[in-house]
Amino acid sequence: MTQLTLPGPEQLVRKLDPVTSILAAARAAKSSSRLVRLLARALLAREHPIVGTDEELCGLLHRRGDLCSQSAVRHARKILSDAGLLVDSGVTRMTRDGGAARVWEHAGQDADGLRAVAEGLAP
């Protein structure tokens, strides 16, 4: 099974942070793991192995009705790529603001890893 490294609240705060920061970190960790599952579901629905840029992934989630920031999508995509489920295709595309962005694709394995993430089964 795919091993994911999701940030826990303890990784998002410093020892001397006030209780409000600790509570915010707990909400952020929960939101992060939810977004990773949403992104995995969206990717499973695509038939083509090319996934797209982070900006395109954000648009994909928005079209599905899942509102999130591009920064949050980048974080979720990084978790999936660190787990070996997405890889850099070696291609770049221009973003809306004219910058070059990496294009991500499925890692070439079967969809079991993404399915486990989408269903919340992967740790």
Ordered structural domains, the chain, with CATH: 18-118 (1.10.10.10)
Average pLDDT, whole number, for the chain? 78
Q: Give the helix ranges, DSSP H, for the chain.
A: 19-44, 54-63, 70-82, 112-118
> What does the pLDDT average to over 53-82?
88
Q: Is the pLDDT of residue 2 over 60?
A: no
> What does the pLDDT average to over 14-19?
70
Contacts of 68 (CB under 8 A, 6+ apart): 35, 38, 58, 61, 62
28-62 per-position pLDDT tens digit: 666 677 888 888 888 887 766 778 999 999 998 88
What pLDDT is stored for residue 5 in this prediction?
59
